[in-house]
Amino acid sequence: MKVALFVPCYVKAVNPEVITASYKLLRHLGVDVSIPKGQTCCGQPMGNAGYESHTSHLKERFENIFKDYDVIVGPSSSCVVYVREHYGNIFKGRIFEICEYIHDVIRPTSLPGSFPHKVSLHNSCHGIRLAGLAAPSELNIPYFNKLKDLLSLVNGVEVVEPERPDECCGFGGLFSVERSEVSIKMGTDKVLRHLETGAEYITAADSSCLMHQGGIISARKLPLKTIHIIEILACGI
């Protein structure tokens, strides 16, 4: 089975180490993964702004790059969900958020790394409500969290969740630009709830949420760090 690593443009620009960690982790788990050349934006920012009709060339490029792969895996639930929901049926059943793929398809029972730190888990809106990574509280269904399950495979890590664990951090893509004051307030409230857990790190499966909260941490000089979950899962590889 040929698996492609989908490289979201903002992850490549802001957290390229996540791409390296994703590749290393998938290879360690026995996945025949490669990173196709020529990748660019999937069109999500334009689509979310109401200009989806202007993104047809991006869809065609994406389809051409990934057409020969059985599975596509990406470390960004918002980008994966955008392709899954807006590209028609061509990639349905073939494109996965990376934690979703590892948890549901590969199903590892152990990982070699050790991360002896207390981490507060951030659940992104797209991750829990559209990628199915955790149980949204508003549905009143039994609790589950695939990110927490995966972190339990890493030695030494202590996972906690903040009060109101599935509340938005305020990033929301273009929302953080168009409604910056509200976005910053939401992000500050979220970061302070993470801080109250006594954690050393905030971890999440979306670099965008971590970028937003990391900016607030830096501006307020708070004793917290951010780290993508894939970096923790791949730490011993």
What per-residue confidence (pLDDT) applies to 89? 87
Looking at the 3D structure of the chain, how many domains does it have?
A: 2
What per-residue confidence (pLDDT) applies to 48? 84
What per-residue confidence (pLDDT) applies to 3? 98
Structural domain including 155 reads 118-233
Q: How confident is the model at residue 179 (pLDDT cuts 50, 70, 90)?
A: confident
- The closest of 69, 98, 67, 71 to 206, measured between CA atoms, is 98
Kindly state whether residues 46 and 143 are assigned to the same domain.
no
Q: H/E/C letters for each residue in 51-70?
A: CHHHHHHHHHHHHHHHCCCC
> Is 111 within a domain?
no
Kindly state whether residues 80 and 139 are assigned to the same domain.
no
What per-residue confidence (pLDDT) applies to 184? 93
Kindly state whether residues 136 and 36 are assigned to the same domain.
no
Please check whether residue 224 is in contact with residue 214, taking contact to mean a CB–CB distance below 8 angstroms.
Answer: no
Q: What is the mean pLDDT of residues 156-168?
A: 96
- The closest of 173, 172, 132, 204 to 41, measured between CA atoms, is 173
Kindly state whether residues 215 and 149 are assigned to the same domain.
yes
Kindly state whether residues 146 and 212 are assigned to the same domain.
yes
Q: What is the mean pLDDT of residues 113-137?
A: 96
> Is 179 within a domain?
yes
Kindly state whether residues 93 and 122 are assigned to the same domain.
no
Residue 225 CB-half CA count within 13 A:
9
Q: What is the mean pLDDT of residues 39-44?
A: 93
Query: What predicted TM-score, i.e. pTM, was given to this entire model?
Result: 0.95
Contacts 24+ apart (CB under 8 A), 183-187: 183/212, 184/216, 187/212, 187/213, 187/215, 187/216
For the stretch 54-94, pLDDT in tens is 999 999 999 999 999 999 999 999 999 999 999 988 898 99
Kindly state whether residues 71 and 127 are assigned to the same domain.
no
Kindly state whether residues 128 and 24 are assigned to the same domain.
no
